[in-house]
């Protein structure tokens, strides 16, 4: 098994706490698992899930939550964001991407109480070839459909687009664009915050098994409308600290009125057409806005859903626990609420 930074984080914390995890090698062996059992038993708990190379980051966080003095060993405490840019990206724009990522992580931690143990890696490029190369250089496994994804995101309208492979993020900026010239800083902040939210989701939920193609299989983290809808909604909240859930929901509702009302269950996987993709993001984010209450617990539940999965729940179990209804019930209720009634329903929440 390849060395895993999350498992090494677990081992470092256990070693510091006085338990012997064996070599700090990133391999979840017998000594590491026994040390975990002893640590959790000391705190009156059973180990929440079996340690593997996929969920090391999840369990690293759980150990730090039980003994906060160990959080000093979280790599993210030393370097929250690692940003690298290709030669074509000017340093001011590179710095703006770094700043946007750092701000998003800081606000998620301060506002919603979710701090992640591992740094977020961000690469910034102004062409598909450099973006592909930089992502491959930093990946610890195969990246599905990377060439097509790089081509797509580097030709997207608007001058900036982003993609996430778990907690490895790619930002592509149109060649010649710069925040000191023709690149909208608000667009940059929203795109970066969206991808950073994906990185937080990934660290909470753990890495998906390598054989899962998430464009054709729902996978263990749940439907794509929820993953993308959560990231879209949270990125809006991170960049509009004076705007509430209801106001964002009203704006999203207006976006949906320009087309057919989405069938949410059809938006579980990656979409093919431009209209389907629009429904995925707009429909997903409005669905998220309609199923959470405008309270302080709203965003923590959106992130806690992923942590529940990382600790062993199925996505259906986590959905019902966090949002108070089964996915099937939510799909049925969403379908019954047409565009004419939906805004009023959200207002009543």
Report the C-alpha gap between 101 and 82 in whole angstroms. Answer: 9
Contact 70, 17 (CB under 8 A): yes
The string of pLDDT tens digits covering residues 6-40 is: 999 999 999 999 999 999 999 999 999 999 999 99
Name the pLDDT band for 210 (thresholds 50, 70, 90): very low
SS3 label, residue 240: coil
pLDDT of residue 276: 79
pLDDT of residue 241: 67
SS3 label, residue 312: coil
Q: Percent of the chain having pLDDT more than 90?
A: 56
CA 32 vs CA 16, 35, 59, 129: distances in Å: 13, 5, 12, 41
SS3 label, residue 204: helix
Q: Is the pLDDT reported for residue 1 higher than 50?
A: no
The string of pLDDT tens digits covering residues 250-291 is: 777 666 666 677 888 888 887 778 777 888 888 888 888 878
Q: What is the pTM of this model?
A: 0.90
The string of pLDDT tens digits covering residues 99-132 is: 999 999 999 999 889 999 999 999 999 999 999 9
Q: Listing from the earlier edge strand, what are the strands of the sheet with 81-85?
A: 81-85, 120-125, 168-173, 160-165
Q: Is the pLDDT reported for residue 171 higher than 50?
A: yes
Report the C-alpha gap between 265 and 143 in whole angstroms. Answer: 26
């Amino acid at each position: 098994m390849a060395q895993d930074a999350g498992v090494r984080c677990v081992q470092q914390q256990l070693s510091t706490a006085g338990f012997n995890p064996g070599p700090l090698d990133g391999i979840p062996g017998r000594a590491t698992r026994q040390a975990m059992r002893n640590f959790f038993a000391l705190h009156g708990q059973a180990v929440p899930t079996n340690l593997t190379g996929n969920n090391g980051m999840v369990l690293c966080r759980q150990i730090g939550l039980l003994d906060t003095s160990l959080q000093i060993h979280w790599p993210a405490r030393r370097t929250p964001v690692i940003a690298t840019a290709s030669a074509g990206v000017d340093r001011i724009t590179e710095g703006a991407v770094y700043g946007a990522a750092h701000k998003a992580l800081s606000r998620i931690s301060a506002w919603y109480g979710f701090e992640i143990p591992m740094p977020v890696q961000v690469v910034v490029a102004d062409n598909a070839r450099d973006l592909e190369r930089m992502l491959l250089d930093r990946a610890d496994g195969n990246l599905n459909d990377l060439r097509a994804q790089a081509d797509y995101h580097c030709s997207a309208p608007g001058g900036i687009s982003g993609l996430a492979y778990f907690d490895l993020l790619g930002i592509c900026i149109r060649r010649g664009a710069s925040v000191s010239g023709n690149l909208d800083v608000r667009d940059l902040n929203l795109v970066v915050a969206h991808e950073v939210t994906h990185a937080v989701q990934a660290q909470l939920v753990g890495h998906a098994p390598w054989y899962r193609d998430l464009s054709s299989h729902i996978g263990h983290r749940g439907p794509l409308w929820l993953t993308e809808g959560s990231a879209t909604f949270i990125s809006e909240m991170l960049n509009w600290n004076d705007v509430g859930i209801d106001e964002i929901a009203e704006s999203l509702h207006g976006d949906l009125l320009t087309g057919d009302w989405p069938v949410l269950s059809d938006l579980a996987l990656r979409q093919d057409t431009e209209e389907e993709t629009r429904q995925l993001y707009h429909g997903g984010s409005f669905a998220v806005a309609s199923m959470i209450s405008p309270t302080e617990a709203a965003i923590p539940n959106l992130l806690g859903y992923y942590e529940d999965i990382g600790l062993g729940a199925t996505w259906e179990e986590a959905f019902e626990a966090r949002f108070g209804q089964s996915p099937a019930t939510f799909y049925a209720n969403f379908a019954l609420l047409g565009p004419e009634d939906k805004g009023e329903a959200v207002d009543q929440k």
